[in-house]
Amino acid sequence: MSARSKARKRALDILFQADLREISILEALQAEAQRAVSEPDRQASWLYAREIVDGVSDNSAEIDETIETYSQGWTLQRMPAVDRAILRVGVWEILFNDEIPAGVAISEAVELAKSLSTEESGGFVNGVLGKVAQSV
């Protein structure tokens, strides 16, 4: 698994934790930052994970609005928490990170959904992020 794939998973964990525990993203990020200090072998994935989480936090209103616009009939509250977090990472990469091609962002998000969420989640994530990428 590449460092960026690990970073996406780590960012997903932080966003999921914040959502589930009903704490701020920054609070969850601080807890992970403290843990990261004791794990220097994971430093490569930490830097990009932090960039993702900071980006999602800074642009949360636009990201969530984009997800709801393209999820056709699904509110954020109705989605599984892990799908929300995966979509937030994917939308951030598509809209705000010019270094990542949209196809890569979509593929990585779909893989996370297939391995961590429901059987239907891969297709759902692919559909939403595909529409987002087409709109850019």
Segment 91-119, tens digit of pLDDT:
999 999 999 999 999 999 999 999 999 98
pLDDT value of position 31: 85
pLDDT of 22 > 90? The answer is yes
Tell whether the model's pLDDT for residue 34 goes beyond 90. no
| Distance (Å, whole) CA 9 – CA 15 | 10
The ranges assigned to domains in the chain are 3-135
Could you read off the pLDDT of 61-85 as tens digits, one per residue?
A: 999 999 999 998 889 999 999 999 9
For domain 3-135, the CATH superfamily is NusB-like (1.10.940.10)
Between CA 70 and CA 2 the distance in angstroms is 29
Residue 33 pLDDT grade (very low, low, confident, very high; cuts 50, 70, 90): confident
Average pLDDT, the chain: 92
77/107 Cα distance (integer angstroms): 24
Q: Which pLDDT score is estimated for 57?
A: 95
